[in-house]
Every structure is written in structure tokens, then in C-alpha cells.
Amino acid sequence: MTDQAAARALKSALRAASERLLMDATNPWELDEAMTRFGFSTGVCEAHDADGLDMTPEDRAMNAAGHDLPIVPRMVAEGRLGRKVGVGWYRYPGGGGLVIDPLVEDLLREEARFAGVARRTLSDEDLIERLVLSVINAAADLLPRLGRDGQLRLDRASIDGIGFPAVTGGIVTHARTRGQDNLLAAMARLSRSDGAHLHPSPHIGQMFEPP
């Protein structure tokens, strides 16, 4: 697996996790603000707008397992393709900077109602915990495909590919800093409340092996 493919896989995991949170707990501007406060270089929704919400066939294949929610397909169908057309998760009036779009929050609440999802309130810390654990899980799944320097490559891919806080050293270093027991306990707890996507990867242990 190339470093570029690893970065795309981490981005896919981050977007899938963010869409779940947008469906049941938050909105783009609150989520992006929580992320930049934590140290991400850019919020996931702002970055998605920059990339474009309409996906290439390669993107669709990569995202098939994670992006099973109706939010982005509906946005694309409504012409919300991102910054290039002036509207996506945010609006970009006159091609300028982003502004909050209340219609997106209405869309999220409507899709939650259609899906029978009871929206909840989560703190910034709770939002970040779910995003970071989802990316750690995805990174662990990639390790067997990345060779002996997989930990270092994933650290670089997380910083360069999804804007993970550089000060942490990257996603693997961050996981190692937290400690395996702490990580597994957090994943077990959240998988019970949030779903199987947060159940620990069988490859988590490889993150804690000597580099």
C-alpha cells in the first residue's frame, strides 16, 4: 500500500465517523471548531468542501464500507458539491470565505428523523474522542499492509493527509502515548453506545510493538 492510499483510507475513516456524528449529535461548524481546537489543521467539513463532495469511482470504492449514511448523497443530489460551486457543508458567497448555512442543519435533523435517530448532545471532547478512536481503528487495520515502517508511515499520512495535529507526532504516536489499556477501554465503552465501528481492530496491538 502506498502512502497516498493510506492517507485516503484515513480520510475515508474520518469522514465516515464525522457523518455519523453529524447525523446524531452536531453540525459542521461545531464539529470543525472542535477539531481545530484540538489541533487539526482544518475541520473535516471544510476540508471536504475543498476536495468536493462528488466522488471519483476510486473514492466510492474506498468509501463503500464506511459511507452508508444518506447525508452526502442527498447533498450531492441537491447540488451541494463544495467550494467549487459555492455551496457544500458551508456557503461561499461570491467565491469568498465560508459562512454557516442553517439549511444544512435542517437537512441533518430531517435525515435523522427519517432514520429514526434521536439526536443527542455531545461535548467537544466527546466528539473528538469518537473521531480520533475511529481513525486509530482504521490506522490499525492498515498496519499489516504497510511493512516494517508502517507506524512511521501512518504518522506521516495522518498529519499530511487528514491534518491530524502534528504536535502529537501522528495517529500511531498519539495512540501509543495514550496507552493500550486506556485505548481498548475507551473503544469498548464507546462501541456499546455508538456501534460496532468503534469495536477495537484486531490489529490494535501492532501499534504498541517496537517500531
Q: How many other CB atoms are found less than 10 A from the CB of residue 68?
A: 10
Residue-level pLDDT at 193: 86
* Helix, strand, coil % in the chain, rounded to nearest 5: 70, 0, 30
Query: What region, left, alpha or beta, does residue 179 occupy, with left being phi > 0 and alpha being psi -120 to 50 degrees?
Result: left
Alpha-carbon span 119 to 112, nearest angstrom: 7
pLDDT of residue 194: 86
Which of the following CATH numbers is that of domain 3-115: 1.10.8.100, 1.10.20.10, 1.10.1040.10, 2.40.50.140? Answer: 1.10.1040.10
Distance CA 49, CA 72 (A): 11
In contact, 144 and 203? CB cutoff 8 Å: yes
3-115 and 124-208 in the same fold: yes
C-alpha to C-alpha distances, 211 to 14, 82, 100, 146, 154, nearest whole angstrom: 24, 39, 43, 12, 12
The CATH number of 124-208, from 3.40.50.720, 1.10.1040.10, 2.40.110.10, 2.60.290.11, is: 1.10.1040.10
pLDDT (0 to 100) of residue 197? 82
Alpha carbons 171 and 153: distance in angstroms, whole number: 10
Q: How far apart are CA 86 and CA 97, in angstroms?
A: 10
Flag residues of the chain having pLDDT under 50.
Answer: none
pLDDT at 155: 97
Q: What count of other Cβ atoms lies within 10 Å of the Cβ of residue 145?
A: 12
pLDDT at position 64, please? 52
Residue pair 10/40 in contact by the 8 Å Cβ criterion: no
Length of the chain: 211
**Predicted local distance difference test score (pLDDT) of residue 67:** 54
At 187 the pLDDT is 94
**Which pLDDT value is given to residue 61?**
54
pTM of the model: 0.90
DSSP 119: -
Q: Alpha-carbon distance 189 to 104, whole Å?
A: 30
| Residue extents of the structural domains in the chain | 3-115, 124-208
pLDDT for residue 68: 65
- Distance (Å, rounded) from C-alpha 152 to C-alpha 172? 8
User: Alpha-carbon distance 11 to 43, whole Å?
Assistant: 12
Packed helices 3-24 and 102-115: angle between N→C axes, nearest 10 degrees: 80
